[in-house]
Amino acid sequence: MLNIGGLHEGVVIDHIKAGGAMEIYRYLNLEKIDSSVAIIKNAKSNKMGKKDIIKIEGPITVDLDILAVLDSNITLNFIENDKIVKKGHPILPAKVTNVIKCKNPRCVTSSPTERGLPHTFKLTDAHNRIYRCIYCEQKFK
């Protein structure tokens, strides 16, 4: 049995779809923070079969709500003094920029002359988790 120590203070990102931890690591730019980060891949889960987990030690200033866009099953556990003080799911942000990319080849964000244009999506249907490009209305899947 794999044993990764508990956290005195930090965040545990749990119930990540198996294989999705590295994508989340990159989106959150965790390589740039000066904290210990543990990635557990393919952990056994009664609910999911297999799952990934990320443990981040210490206080972080990253916007974790962006995770709701990437994986709807994620659970966030906030740890203080060796105890979970808050547990919940990230909330879908109304707008996301440079997290997901527009796949429409005719979108202005795909134009070679507009290379630096940010990929910005707005939440148009929270119930069905649908985001649309603000430039061309392309639905993100």
pLDDT one-digit tens code per residue, 18-39: 999 999 998 888 998 888 899 9
Whether residue 1 is predicted with pLDDT greater than 70 in this model: the reply is: no
> What are the DSSP E strand ranges found in 18-114?
37-45, 49-57, 75-80, 83-88, 95-97
Q: Tell me the whole-structure pTM to 2 decimals.
A: 0.81
Instruction: Please name the CATH architecture into which domain 10-88 falls.
Output: 2-Layer Sandwich (3.30)
Looking at the domain 95-140, which fold is it?
SH3 type barrels. (2.30.30)
Q: Name the average pLDDT for the chain.
A: 89
pLDDT tens digit string along 73-101? Answer: 899 999 999 999 999 999 999 999 988 89
Tell me the C-alpha distance between 36 and 81, whole Å. 17
Using alpha carbons, select from 91, 22, 26, 72 the residue that is nearest to residue 52: 22
Residue ranges per structural domain of the chain: 10-88, 95-140
pLDDT tens digit string along 34-72? Answer: 888 999 999 998 888 999 999 999 888 888 988 998 888
